Structure 1
Amino acid sequence: MMEKFQILRRIGQGSYGVVWSAFDKQTGEVVAIKKLNTKCYSKEECENLIEVKALFKLKHPNIVRLKEVVSIKGGTLFLIFECMEGSLFQRMNMMFRMQMRFSESEIRNLCFQVFEGLAHMHGNGYFHRDLKPDNLLLSKNVIKIADLGQARETNRKPPYTDYVTTRWYRSPEVLLHSPVHDPAVDMWAMGAIMAELFIGRPLFAGDCAGQVLYKICSVIGSPTESNWSDGIQLARNMNFQFPCFPGVPLATLLPNASNEAVCLVASLLSWNPCMRPTAAEVLKHPFFDGCCHVIHVSQDLPWKRALLK
């Protein structure tokens, strides 16, 4: 089955395995092939992998498309995806080298698409848990959520595994080892990513969980019993003492952002997960006024874009 693909180059590698771009000799398309380190010895095992299970269900223009799954002798598994030009992380690095910044219009367009994908994902019973610029893929001005290897079903019972997204984009409840995670962890990550798009650097960079929590406190102010009593208890459980910071006006850190953008980022970066807006709510935020919503006419028809009034 893999003979129909001609490997072009390696485009990624991680704990999950390795990704190549390849030429599909049968269709003439360039695809992305993800070889998993996980072994699968039956069709049922393959279908129950969270990434495969989620992507077969989540069909949306802002979620990367899984084209097929190939299992070969010995249990090696290959996931065949549509191929994108690169990641948001690569685009950000390129712009940094060129001393350029994203315009607010570009940020609005990119983030709106990601929230569209997240609204579809969360509405269909999954949350990502590993959102970061590396896992947002770009082709021209279209952005798609990728790498659902850490995704979880919203109705799955806790506890969850400790590992979720790169530390800089982890929500406070995850940094404090909360046994319960929900789609709000994705919303925090998007708040951090939006801020990074405006300022050109990670907002909460740190070498360990303590450093990241310190950075968060210095930006949004330390949590209190009144705004996040559960978090205070989580910190006590692991003998962590929050530093005392009043925080700073977010507008001073995002001087090029509109009031609407600052307001949205501030709501996403709420200590209390219950206070963060859902992806569906974010799509109605004034920051996104005039953006085009994606509608799906039929499972058998192409995706179309239309301005919903």
Structure 2
Amino acid sequence: MKNYKAIGKIGEGTFSEVMKMQSLRDGNYYACKQMKQRFESIEQVNNLREIQALRRLHPHPNILTLHEVVFDRKSGSLALICELMDMNIYELIRGRRHPLSEKKIRYYMYQLCKSLDHMHRNGIFHRDVKPENILIKQDVLKLGDFGSCRSVYSKQPYTEYISTRWYRAPECLLTDGFYTYKMDLWSAGCVFYEIASLQPLFPGANELDQISKIHDVIGTPAQKTLTKFKQSRAMSFDFPFKKGSGIPLLTTNLSPQCLSLLHSMVAYDPDERITARQALQHPYFQEQRAAEKQALASRRKACFPEHPVAAEALRHGWQTSKEARKQKQSLKQEEDHPKRQGPAYIMELPKLKLSGVTKLSSYSSPTLHSVFGSGTNGKAPVLRPLKCVGANKKTDLQKDLKPALKQCRLPTIERKGGEY
């Protein structure tokens, strides 16, 4: 920590306190999360879930960036140096008399859903999504504080008392730790309503009151949902039937699409609850998707500008090279198969008249066939050495051959008019 100078305290939690620090190397300001726990070794530090999660999720525009990990082996102190944000969502809406515009709410929620989608697709769920852990800087939203995160592939049951009570999903309240990444969507839905109305959706005083407030708004769940919860609960429970008043419309500037997405995020049954990927495709975010697509097209155009003159020259060069390739190919074909001058129709070649050419009589060549053996059984013939003899020593060569070999004669070759 010799490379940093403390500026002031930002906040404090159960397991850490956050300080504003200035780097003595580059002069930039950072948020330093000083852990209250003491660590024994660098291996214990590297196994910390928060550090592993921030490293795995980096880089993403809606996930807090971890710049440096500072560990003092002697004292066992650990500090995480992260980017400094302006405020969190709670500080943004605290004390406001009028809600944010729906355009601003939509913009923030789209970024929150993008952070959840990126996190879940990388096998991590947060387990403590709440306004205090959602940070903002110049209208850019980033999810932070991954101290409670878990792997989506880790074995259940998980810790029961994990997320902050007001944002705790029903499956976290009614089961012995049998919940999934869908709990983050419930918490995000509660944050969604709180940003829009400036009031918490389910402000329970304790766990029983929390369930009661959920039932007051949403109603008691279907029996099949309760049956699923009871299968993973040591104690049984039954609730009196409540229809539910519905999500209170404390503000009139919410569109039907906004309410549709909100209801999908706070569905009682986690199996019926929307995912972050599905939320990003909701009609409520149509404007954000179009703007994102247009921004991507603009960046591509900036990286690959279109110059009509250059494009025309390139296209002309391509056509020229294409014609050159065609011409080269045709020349090569002519070299391989030269064209012969002649009539374009079929004609019979004239017969050659050669003087002194007589009809060949039958000619035997026992010498040639005697080398291969009989070959009558379809087997490969056996080669035998051949003695070099003159043409006038035909009789001597035949004497050298074994008498058991059968002599064969070649068929007669006839030549007519000088053509074979």
Q: Is 2:263 the partner of 1:247?
A: no
- d(CA) in 1 for partners of 2:261 and 2:134? 20
Name the TM-score, length of structure 1 as normaliser.
Answer: 0.90
Q: Given the alignment of the two structures, is residue 134 of structure 1 paired with residue 132 of structure 2, yes or no?
A: yes
Q: Give the match for residue 206 of structure 1.
A: 204
Within the candidate set 214, 217, 222, 1:224 is matched to 222
The 10-residue stretch of structure 1 (149-158 or 34-43) with the greater mean CA deviation from structure 2: 34-43
Give the counterpart letter for 2:259 in structure 1: V
Q: 1:285 aligns with which of 282, 289, 296?
A: 282
Residue 305 of structure 2 corresponds to residue 306 of structure 1: no
Instruction: Give matches, 1:153-172, under 5 Å.
Output: 153-172=151-170
- SS at structure 2 position matched to 1:21: strand
Partners of 2:106 and 2:297 in 1: CA distance: 15
- Structure 1 residue 243: Cα displacement: 3.8
Partners of 2:226 and 2:241 lie apart in 1 by 15
| Alignment partner, residue 194 of structure 1 | 192
Q: How does 1:95-134 map to 2 (within 5 A)?
A: 95=96, 99-134=97-132
User: 2:38 matched to which residue of 1?
Assistant: 39
Q: In 2, Cα distance between the equivalents of 1:146 and 1:29?
A: 20
Distance in 2 of aligned mates of 1:63 and 1:157 = 25
Asked whether the 8 Å contact 2:178–2:232 carries over to 1, the reply is no
- In structure 1, distance between residues paired with 2:280 and 2:289: 10
Query: Aligned partners of 2:49 and 2:37: how far apart in 1?
Result: 12
The letter for the 2-side match of 1:230 is K
Q: Matched residues in 2 for 1:113 and 1:266: separation?
A: 19
Q: Which amino acid is 2:34 matched to?
A: K
How many Å separate the matches in 2 of 1:274 and 1:163? 21
Counterpart of 2:18 in structure 1 is 19
SS of corresponding position for 2:268 = coil
Alignment of 1:54-73 (within 5 A): 54-59=53-58, 60-72=60-72, 73=74
| Equivalent residue letter for 1:79 | L
SS of the aligned residue for 1:56 comes to helix
Once residues 204 and 117 of structure 2 are traced to their aligned partners in structure 1, the CA distance between those partners, rounded to angstroms, is 29
Return the offset for 1:224.
1.9
Residue in 2 that maps onto 1:302: none
Q: Provide, for residues 105-129 of structure 1, a one-character-per-residue CA deviation record: whole Å limited to 9, x for no partner.
A: 1110001001101100000010000
Query: Can you list the C-alpha shifts for 1:243-280, whole angstroms capped at 9, x where unaligned?
Result: 42101243745543111111111111111111111111
Q: Distance in 2 between matches of 1:165 and 1:139?
A: 24
Asked if the contact 1:217/1:243 (under 8 Å) is kept, the reply is no
Task: Give the match for residue 29 of structure 1.
Answer: 28
Structure 1 Cα separation of the partners of residues 297 and 245 of structure 2: 37
Q: Identity rate of aligned residues, in percent?
A: 35
Is there any run of 5+ residues in structure 1 with no aligned partner, and where?
A: 296-304
- TM-score normalized with structure 2 length: 0.67
* TM-superposed deviation, 1:18: 0.7
Secondary structure in structure 1 of the residue aligned to 2:158: coil
* Higher Rg: 2
Counterpart position of 1:75: 76
- Superposition deviation, residue 193 in structure 1: 0.8
Structure having greater relative contact order (Cα 8 Å, sep ≥ 6):
1
Measured after TM superposition, the shift of residue 146 of structure 1 is 0.5
Q: Which runs of 4+ in 1 moved over 6 A?
A: none
What RMSD over aligned residues (CA atoms) do the two structures have, in Å?
Answer: 2.0
- The one-letter code sitting in structure 2 at the alignment partner of 1:75 is G
1-structure distance, mates of 2:82, 2:100: 28
In 2, Cα distance between the equivalents of 1:198 and 1:233?
A: 36
- Which among 134, 138, 147 is matched to residue 145 of structure 2? 147
Secondary structure in 1 aligned to 2:288?
Answer: coil
- Provide Cα deviations, 1:188-247, integer angstroms capped at 9, x if missing partner: 001111111121110100110111111110111111214543135567x43443242101
Distance verdict in 2 for CA 1:137–1:57, change over 3 Å: same
CA 1:156–1:232: 2 relative to 1, 3 Å? closer
Counterpart CA distance in 2 for 1:274 and 1:218 is: 21
Aligned to 1:89: 90
Q: How far apart in 1 are the matches of 2:297 and 2:219? A: 39
8 Å contact kept, 1:224–1:232? no
Change (3 A) 1:254 1:212: farther
Using the TM superposition, name which of 12-21 and 119-128 deviates more.
Answer: 12-21
1:27-65 per-residue CA deviation (whole Å, 9 max, x = no partner) reads 111000011122222222111100001001101110100
Query: Is the partner of 2:80 in helix, strand or coil?
Result: strand
Q: 2:242, 2:164 → 1: CA distance?
A: 24
Find the residue that maps to 2:51 and give its secondary structure: helix
In 2 relative to 1, CA 278–293 (structure 1 residues): closer, same or farther, beyond 3 Å? farther
Q: For the Cα contact (< 8 Å) 1:50–1:149, is it kept in 2?
A: yes
